[in-house]
Amino acid sequence: MNALACLAVMLGSLVQDGQPLTIDQAVEIALTNGFGLRTSAARVEKARQQESEARGSLGPKLTLGASYSRFEGAVTSGQGQVSSNSPGVSPLAAGSSASAPNSSKQASVSLTQVFDISGTIHRSVEAARFGTLSAVEAFGAEENAVRQQVKGAFYNVLLAKALVKVQTDAKDAAQARLDKATVRQREGAVPMFDVLRFQNDLRKTEQQLVQALGSLESAKQALNNVLARPIETAFEPVDVVGLPGLPDSPEPLVESALQSRQEIKQSALTVKSLGKFAESQERGTRPSLVLSAAHNRVIDPPMGSSDNGTIGTLALSYPVFDSGITRSRVRAARQDENSAVIGLEQTTLAVVLDVRSAYTRLTTAKESLAVALDSERLATEALRLAQLRYDEGAGILIDVTAAQADLTAARGSVQSAKYEYLTAYSSLQRAVGRDDLGQGVRP
């Protein structure tokens, strides 16, 4: 398949009735559909249920029960004796011989209330509460990452679309030069070699346009994948208007990131959660108090026996020696807490590095864009002069083709630098942990 046929196929696959899609709309779609966010939301709900479970340990527990027993054969009790297998038989019947029932039916209800006099359960609840808050911050960190991923993928689509425009302009320019050279060759003003050379240039630009269209299609599919929707979903990206300004200094951004980055908050809450868990372990050898009450009722009791009974118990226990089990648990829990503190320090340093690296990348991208724009202006003027000299017979063909190649490359560099700046800015937003980078932003 030649370049023209490939070009027709690519254009046919890309020209669809896709709805316009802005970058903000893309972010909202990803925040709704994102696989990572949905998984993170499930973790938050799990943490909330674990916290609810811990709180439930402080409340009363009510239990209903029923039992049915049956004994094979008749069981009798003689004078002065009561069969041990005859439930519900009163000792009053011990003086006579009687036949005991061979089945027993019983219902019971019991109530238990734990009094957390040592504070163990309360600290477990606090640990679970901090765990829930940590999961919420983890969800926020995932949201922050998704925003940057979507923006990066969206800018890749815009860049690919811009490069298609650059290659389309190059192809149109090559076609115009070929048409003009063909006319002049018929008039005998230029040799046939010039026509052949311009034909070759046109084929090259057509092939480059096919590659650009393929890159655009791949970029759109990649964005649809980030948005967690079918990759063949048609859409038309809406270009961004203007470029955001460059912050004057990274110092305020670092301070803001230390306050707003969700990863730091998550790590700090994890430290608190593990600290509360260690405190609950330390109270493993402290006393506990449990109040319980139970009521039993025998259905169809034998003659002379009671059909119900109620008992209440207040139990106080004080562990005295457990062979060092509690001490080992406390030490292990404290080591987990220490590891979390180290992780917090590491996360804090990583955030600072993240912000400074993103700021350096943005500064470099701004300078690269300025250089690319200068190069484009130079290449535009060089092509104009080369074409003018060639048309007047004072220049050579190679100067025109080289100047056109330089201009196409320069225009592509401008687009690459522009969207690299936007991508770097989105990376800085993620590093700080918010879209609004505050004051001190210069255009």
Helix (H) or strand (E) segment spanning residue 368: helix 325-391
Q: Is residue 349 part of a domain?
A: yes
Q: Is residue 95 part of a domain?
A: no
**At residue 407, does pLDDT exceed 70?**
yes
Q: Is residue 78 part of a domain?
A: no
Best CA proximity match to 235, nearest among 416, 23, 8, 32: 23
Token pair in block for residue 203: 């084929």
Q: Residue 91's pLDDT is what?
A: 45
- C-alpha torsion sign, points 357, 358, 361, 367: negative
Best CA proximity match to 270, nearest among 134, 124, 141: 134
**Confidence tier at 392 by pLDDT (50, 70, 90):** confident
Non-local (6+) Cβ contacts of 360 within 8 A are none
Q: Is residue 210 part of a domain?
A: yes
Q: Can you tell me whether residue 68 is helix, strand or coil?
A: strand
Beta-strand runs (E) in 246-395: 246-247, 288-299, 308-317
**At residue 93, does pLDDT exceed 50?**
no
Residues 258-308: pLDDT tens digits? 999 999 999 999 999 999 999 999 988 899 999 999 999 988 777 777 788
Q: Is residue 301 part of a domain?
A: no
**Confidence tier at 161 by pLDDT (50, 70, 90):** very high
**At residue 33, does pLDDT exceed 80?**
yes
Residues 171-199: pLDDT tens digits? 999 999 899 889 888 888 888 988 898 89
Overall average pLDDT of the 29-34 stretch: 93
**Confidence tier at 84 by pLDDT (50, 70, 90):** very low
Backbone φ and ψ of 242, nearest 5°: 75, 170
Q: Residue 248's pLDDT is what?
A: 86
Query: By percentage, how much of the chain surpasses pLDDT 70?
Result: 88
Q: Residue 233's pLDDT is what?
A: 94
Number of domain units in the chain: 1
> For residue 301, how many other CB atoms are within 10 A of its CB?
19
Domain span holding position 142: 10-58+118-285+324-442
Give the Cα separation of 228 and 250 in Å (integer).
34
Q: Is residue 247 part of a domain?
A: yes
**Confidence tier at 75 by pLDDT (50, 70, 90):** low
> For residue 381, how many other CB atoms are within 10 A of its CB?
12
**At residue 9, does pLDDT exceed 50?**
no
Q: Is residue 360 part of a domain?
A: yes
**At residue 98, does pLDDT exceed 80?**
no
**At residue 323, does pLDDT exceed 50?**
yes
Q: Is residue 206 part of a domain?
A: yes
Whichever domain contains 24, its CATH number is 1.20.1600.10
**Confidence tier at 436 by pLDDT (50, 70, 90):** confident
Q: Residue 256's pLDDT is what?
A: 92
> By the 8 A CB rule, do 34 and 146 touch?
yes
| Weakest-pLDDT range from 88-92, 136-140, 369-373 | 88-92
3-state helix, strand, coil in the chain (%, to 5): 65, 15, 20
